[in-house]
């Protein structure tokens, strides 16, 4: 695992955007696995700026998103399809037909999970998979559990995940209780994983994912078994790794 410790959120976002844009320049038709949430917003903002400046193009890129809330329509302002349109897709030259997000309104959840797995397999899996990490160590919406779930599946969201996401909704009661999520198998099949973390509230999760035992109780810990993981975080998120001497900032 390579670790880049950046001073703050903005520096973390620029580093991550640099790594993603370098992948696109190296392989214009690459498959990007994309994530949502507040952590990658700055990264997407930087990618938009560079794309609009003409530094590189998304025209041949294919993208697959990690997850989607079950029960939300694509145009719901808290759906992850809406997030991706707002923060990236509507502002760059990616082809709409080359962007995929699970269908939150699928009538047959099992069939949708199987369809999404087959789609990702048909694309050859992600060349670069972008991930954030939850305070409980979840990646995508793979919550702490007794086993690592390999395929795409519907997950019951943990209470602390619902609490963390409540700030995006009018009330906690409006937060969906389930989500479709890419499974651990698809995530681990990516050729490179780019893991982002920002803020002191992620310090424990990052330390456990990097230095703790490999256990489904901390889903992010499975990344210790991947042969090409890049962790980019700010000083606050990596503070416990710094204390342990695992990385140095500056």
pLDDT of 41 higher than 80: yes
Q: At what angle do helices 9-26 and 41-53 cross, to 10 degrees?
A: 50
Active-site pick, 6, 143, 234, 235:
143
**pLDDT digits 0-9 by tens, 52-76:** 999 999 999 999 999 999 999 999 9
Q: Could you tell me which CATH class the domain 2-129+142-226 is placed in?
A: alpha beta
138 belongs to the catalytic site = yes
pTM listed for this prediction: 0.95
160 belongs to the catalytic site = no
pLDDT at residue 109, as a whole number: 97
75 belongs to the catalytic site = no
Q: Once rounded to an integer, what is the mean pLDDT over residues 3-29?
A: 98
* Cβ proximity of 66 and 36 under 8 Å: yes
pLDDT at residue 161, as a whole number: 86
Cα angle: 32, vertex 159, 155; to 5 degrees: 45
Sequence ranges of the domains in the chain:
2-129+142-226
136 belongs to the catalytic site = yes
Active-site pick, 6, 23, 67, 127:
67
């Amino acid at each position: 695992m390579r670790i880049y410790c950046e001073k703050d959120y903005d520096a973390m976002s620029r580093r991550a955007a640099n790594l993603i844009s370098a992948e696109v320049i190296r392989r214009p038709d690459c498959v990007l696995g994309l994530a949502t949430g507040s952590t990658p917003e700055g990264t997407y903002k930087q990618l938009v700026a560079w794309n609009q400046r003409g530094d590189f193009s998304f025209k041949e890129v294919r993208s697959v998103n990690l997850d989607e809330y079950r029960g939300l329509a694509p145009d719901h302002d808290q759906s992850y399809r809406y997030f991706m349109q707002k923060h990236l897709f509507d502002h760059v030259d990616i082809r709409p037909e080359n962007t995929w997000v699970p269908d939150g309104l699928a009538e047959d959840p099992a069939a949708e999970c199987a369809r999404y797995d087959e789609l990702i397999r048909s694309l050859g899996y992600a060349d670069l998979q972008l991930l954030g990490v939850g305070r409980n160590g979840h990646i995508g919406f793979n919550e702490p559990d007794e086993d690592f779930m390999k395929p795409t599946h519907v997950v019951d969201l943990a209470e602390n995940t619902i609490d963390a996401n409540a700030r995006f909704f009018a009330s906690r009661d409006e937060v969906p209780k389930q989500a479709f999520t890419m499974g651990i198998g698809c995530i681990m099949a990516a050729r490179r994983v780019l893991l982002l973390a920002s803020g002191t509230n992620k310090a424990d999760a990052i330390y456990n994912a990097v230095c703790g035992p490999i256990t489904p109780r901390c889903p992010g810990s499975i990344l210790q078994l991947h042969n090409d993981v890049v962790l980019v975080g700010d000083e606050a998120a990596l503070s416990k790794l710094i204390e342990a001497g695992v990385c140095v900032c500056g």
